[in-house]
Structure formats: C-alpha cells, structure tokens
Structure 1
Amino acid sequence: MTTALAPSRARVLVALGAAGLAVLALSQAGRFGASWSEALAAVRGLSWWWPPVFGAVWVAGLAVHTVLLTAALPGLTRRRALILNVAGNAVANVLPLGGAAGTAVNYGMVRGWGHSSADYVRFAVVSKSCDFVAKLMLPLPAVGGLLAVGGLSPARGGWVLLAVAGAGAAVGVVVVLALLGRASRVLRAVPPRVGGSWAVGVAERTAGLVRRRWVALVVGLGGYLALQGVLLWLCFTAVGLHLPLPTTFATLVALRLLALLAITPAGVGFVEAGTITVLVALRVDPTGALAGLLLYRAFVLLAEVPAGGLTIAWWATTRRRTPR
C-alpha cells in the first residue's frame, strides 16, 4: 500500500513545490515598482472586442504552424497537425516539466494514425530542433536591434549581450548542420548492437527531409513566431502600453528563452518574473509591463488548456470507435 501511494505523494509534492516557486517568482514583480492592483484593473477594464481579436491571431498562428508540422511528418494532414499542437501544448501547460508528457500524448496520437516509431522520432527531432534553433538564433537580431535604436546601451552590457547572443547563434548553426546530415557521420561510430544502425538510418532520413522541405519549415516557424509577436504587441496595446517593435521582438525572444526553464507548468512564475526584469531593464513602465504580460500569458494558457483537453477527449473517443 505504501509503495502504491509513493508515486502519488511524489507528484503532489512536486506540484506543491512548483506552485510555491511560481508564487515566489511572481511576487518579485513588486520589487520593480509594479502595482498588482493597477495591472489587474487594466486587464479587467478591457473592451469586449479585444478577446475575439486575440483569438483570431492565436488561431491564425496555430494554422500557420501546421505548415512546419506537416513538413516534419510526411503524410500528416493539417487538421491532425493542429490536433497534435493543441493537445501537446495543453498537457505540457498543466504539469510540472510537462514537455515529456506532451510528447508522450503526441506519440500515441501519431502511432494511432498509422505512422511508425521511426517516423515520430524524425518528426520530433525536426520540429523540436527547429524550435530550439530559433530560440538560439533569435537573440542575436533582438540584441542587435535594441543596440541599433538605442534601446540597449553598449556601456550597460550591450556588447556583452551581443557576444553571448552571437555564441548562441553559433550553436544554432551547429544544430542546423547536424540536421543536414553531419550527425550521421558521428553516429556511425555507435555499435549496431546498441542501436547505432537504427540511429544512423533516422539521422539520414531526417537530413533528407530537412533538405527537401526546409522552405516549409522556415515559413511555418517564421509565420508562427511573427503572429505570436503580433499577439504579444496587441496584449500590451490593449492595456495602454505601446511598445516599439524592437522592444516587442526582444520581449518575445525573452519569453521563448525563459520557457526552457519550465520547472512549473508552462513556466508560470519564472517566465513572467524573468520577462518583467527584461522589460524594466529596457525602461518600460513596470505596471504596464506586468499588465500586458499577464494578459498575454493568461490568454494563451486559458486558450490552449481547454482546447487541448477537448481535443484529447475527442481523439480518445474516436480512437475507441475506429476499428484497427
């Protein structure tokens, strides 16, 4: 009995610890001069037509992202790509370190649609690598843009940030080269008895897919990020904060980088605290920054979780009814 309860107790402790860390991180916003009462009042005072506008941009971003997903998995339809995206994000957003759980849900869906395990591995490698490369390479133009317009001072660490961003971009280039086939040469040294030949096969097929479909991968990811930036800008505008384009772009980059530290569900607490720190460093009003950021994060999370839950329920129901 004790053994059976241990995993449940561990999950409860992890959830409570994550919630405590999120509250602690969010409480740091007040240290920068942000007023929680004013920020929440700005969010509550939105006109009725703002949420439909946010929803339209959000849905458009998901639709564009299916271009990348269908390119990464030949045979995947746009409708199923949309289901994968929403379902995986919903699971990842409700569990601490939920990325693995979201991946498991997507794997079950892909296998249920008749794709092989190797197909899913290639799909996961390509889609996750594209996202990872973007997170590594986008800080360089973001920091460069801020330096160019005076939003970031060279004397206050601007050149250091530019060097760090350049190093990240260099790592991104290495990842791209690996996707284009350089990794298979390294994997050939792995003995066949421990999966070396299988890994080489996946790497070679992955490289062939990237070379054939790189335009769709770039268009799908670039369009999705652009629409996410529009949604972020609209959220700040809705609460009365008008950010310049370089600042909005830098904020989006910071959000995506901080999402890598998703200890709590969807990185709640840490992402907001880190992003507000960036905005304050860029001389943005702390209360306006808090209001716009809370609106953006709340809308995205509240949109993804119910939509993903309904999608998973629909998939599970139709899967049972469909003969194998």
Structure 2
Amino acid sequence: MGETDSTGMSDAPAGGRGRRAALLLVGVAIVVWSAMHLSALGASWTQAWHLIANLGWRWPIFLGVVWLLGLVVHTSVLTASLPGLSHRRALTLNLSGSAVSNVLPLGGVAGTALNLGMVRGWGHTGLEFARFVVVSKAWDLVAKLVMPLVAVALLLLANAGPLGHGLLWLGCSALSAGAGLLVVAALMGRAAPLLRLVALAERLWTRRPRRTRSAADDPDASPGWTAATAALLDGTDRLVRRRWAELSWGMAGYWLLQGALLWFCLAAIHVRLPLPVVLAALVAERLLTLAAITPGGAGVVEAGTIAVLIALGADPTDALAGVLLYRAFVFVAEIPVGGLATALWLLGRRQAA
C-alpha cells in the first residue's frame, strides 16, 4: 500500500505505475538485445521454429502429459501448505494464479488476489490463506536457492562443460544455499538468524536519504522489514513441522518432472546433452522466474536459460529451439489451461449461488 499525504489521497499509484513501466521497458530491452545477440552467436530462429514445427503429433501429447504430471505432483506442496485443501482445488489454484501472472506485468499480486477469492469461497480464512502463501512460496524459494549448489557441484564433478572460475561459482552457490537454509530454519521456528540479517539490511537501507515520514509522523505507514518478516513467519512453524515431509517430496518430485520435461524437449529436437548441463539450465530457468519484470518473466527467462546452455557447450540453434519448446508448456500453455480452470470455478460458483 502506498503512503498517503495530508489530504488522505495516495500519491503512490502514479509512482508505482512509473516504476512498473520502467521495469517493463528494461525487460523488453533485455529481450531485444538477447535476440540480436543470439543471432550474432549463430542461432537461427527460422531453423529453431522448423525443428519445433516438425515434431509431429506424438511429441506434444507426451510432453503435455509430463507437464501436467508435474503440476499434479506439485499440488502436494499446496495441500500441505493449506490443511483441508483438496488436490483438485490445489491444481485449480495453481493454474488460475499462473494464468493471471503470465499475462500481466508483475502479475503475481493479481494472481494471489484471485486465489484469495477462491480459497475464501471454499471456507478457508484469510489468515489460513496468508500462511498458505508464505509457506508454499517460501518452500519454492528454498528450492531455487539450494539447487544452484547441486547443479554447480555436478558440473564440476562431471566436467560437463566449460565452467570458468569454478571455485567462484561454487562459493556463490554455497551462499545461495545458505540463504535457503536460513529460510527453512525460520519457517520451522528458528527465525532469529534470518531476522538479524533482515534487520541489518533494513538499517543499511534506512540510512539512505529518503523523502518519507517516520512511523511516528504517519501512523498508517507500513511496518519495517523486520517486523513484517516476523509477522509473516508467525504460526508457520507449527504447520511446517507437521507437513515438512509432504512439502519436501512434493517439491522434489516437481523439480524432477520439470527436469524431465526439459530433457525430453531437447530430445524431441534430437539434442542430447549431459544431465548436469540440463540441470544447470533448469536451475537458471527456475531462478530467473523470480525476476518477473515481464509477464511470467517472458523473454528474460528464455534469454538467460539459452545463455547458460550455450555457455556449457550447446549449439545455439538447438538451445533456442529446446528452450522455446519447454517454455511453450511451462509458460504459454498455462494461460489457456489456467483460463479454463478459472472459468470452470466461476461457473461452479454461479451454480452454487
């Protein structure tokens, strides 16, 4: 929520729109530059589309089944995060939220708002939904922070591709994994180390000159980072301690099937890459979805994933075709399928009313 002036009118939306527009322009610029750079590296867009168009009908069906199976397995994470939620409703939440997020810049908030309406219609409270969002998103974040260490270690052990400054990459991924473990500890009730880091970051940030009023001058001001983080974590420890096994195997199964989908997408266009290289590309793709400055990270995610594959020795055109095919399922297909799921939910709600 934006701060309000003395008249009670909010001046934040205009600035917020400006920032969103700037972020979107940055994302578009990155996409354009990446497309031009790919061509300079020898990637042929025409040949990539030709490889995808000549798959036949069996491959899309098979890849669609693998994609849907991954979403079904992921429902275990959602049902563990919200006791009483069925797997069918969890799948509806996932698809509908993704459909909205994938068509709007920074659309995660809109997707969450839609999911809140669904969950409250099914009899869950707002507090239960808040904990559901915190636990499910945090568990997803933990996986994205920990898996780079696994990918870098496997690349180094297998000598699977050119990986200059291996110790530097290993150190950075170890720091990322350490951050993930801090989040896990906080979710399980040991939040002090994470809160100390958040407090340090908050102190460093607030030392910058800012044209804002203090909390004493503005009683409606948002709480500080530390207080907000502590509030988000309140009550999650009991839930996570009971459901950590379901959360873990559900997320592990989802990652396994996402990796299988990427491997099969490359195999469909007759590309065979070492498994550590495929894992590294998957980790890059998952990490880059955090930077959703375009709808669903479109363009930015593809560019980064293709860059990782090329850096690890893949042919530029093969990398382009494989990643485009993979993203056609994990990004593009979620829009119509999620839209259908949302429409069915609205229809059922109208019939119930």
Report if TM-score (shorter chain) is over 0.5.
yes
Shift of 1:22: 3.4
Q: More helix per residue: 1 or 2?
A: 1
Map of 1:94-243 to 2, 5 A cutoff? 94-153=103-162, 156-183=164-191, 203-243=233-273
Deviation at 1:302, TM superposition (A): 2.9
Task: Give the distance between the partners of 2:63 and 2:159, measured in 1 at CA.
Answer: 30
Amino acid at match of 2:288: L
The answer (yes or no) to whether the contact 1:118–1:202 under 8 Å persists in 2 is no
In structure 2, relative to structure 1, the CA distance for the partners of 1:184 and 1:101 (3 Å cut) is: farther
Q: Is the 8 A contact 2:34 2:303 kept in 1?
A: yes
Of 262-271 and 26-35, more deviation after overlay is shown by 26-35
Amino acid at match of 1:213: R
The alignment partner of 1:261 has SS state of coil
Structure 1 unaligned regions, length at least 5: 1-5
The correspondence for 2:317, drawn from 280, 287, 290, is 287
State the Cα distance separating 1:124 from its structure 2 match: 0.5
Counterpart code for 2:290: L
DSSP 3-state at the match of 1:105: helix
Name the stretch that deviates more: 166-175 or 309-318.
309-318
In structure 2, stretches of 5+ residues that fail to align are 1-13, 200-218
Q: Which residue of 1 aligns with 2:330?
A: 300
Give the Å deviation of 1:197: 11
The residue aligned with 1:3 is none
- Residues in 2 aligned to 1:136 and 1:10: alpha-carbon distance in whole angstroms: 30
Counterparts of 1:134 and 1:250 in 2: how far apart (Å)?
Answer: 14
Alpha-carbon deviation of 1:269?
1.2
Letter in 2 for 1:292: G
CA RMSD of aligned residues (A): 2.9
Q: In 2, are the aligned partners of 1:184 and 1:200 still within 8 Å (CA)?
A: no
Q: Cα distance 1:112–1:37, how it changes in 2: closer, same or farther (>3 A)? A: same
Separation in structure 2 between the aligned mates of residue 269 and residue 181 of structure 1, nearest angstrom: 38
3-state DSSP of counterpart to 2:105 = coil
Deviation at 1:275, TM superposition (A): 1.2
- Relative to structure 1, the CA distance from residue 202 to residue 92 in structure 2 (aligned partners, 3 Å threshold; closer, same or farther) is closer
1:159-188 Cα distance to aligned partner (Å, 9 max, x none): 10000000000111110110001238969x
Q: TM-score, with normalisation over the residues of structure 1?
A: 0.88
Q: Give the TM-score normalised by the residue count of structure 2.
A: 0.81
Cα contact 2:24–2:294 (8 A) shared by 1: no
**How many Å separate the matches in 1 of 2:249 and 2:310?**
32
Aligned to 1:35: 44
1:271 CA displacement: 1.0
Q: Which residue of 2 aligns with 1:55?
A: 64
Moved over 4 A (4+): 9-16, 18-21, 184-187, 193-202
Per-residue CA distance 1:79-132 (angstroms, 9 max, x = gap): 100000101111111111111111111111111111111101110010000000
Distance in 2 (alpha carbons) for counterparts of 1:322 and 1:306: 24
2:190 is paired with a residue whose SS is helix
Q: How many pairs does the alignment contain?
A: 313
Partners of 1:166 and 1:303 lie apart in 2 by 34
State the identity as a percent: 51
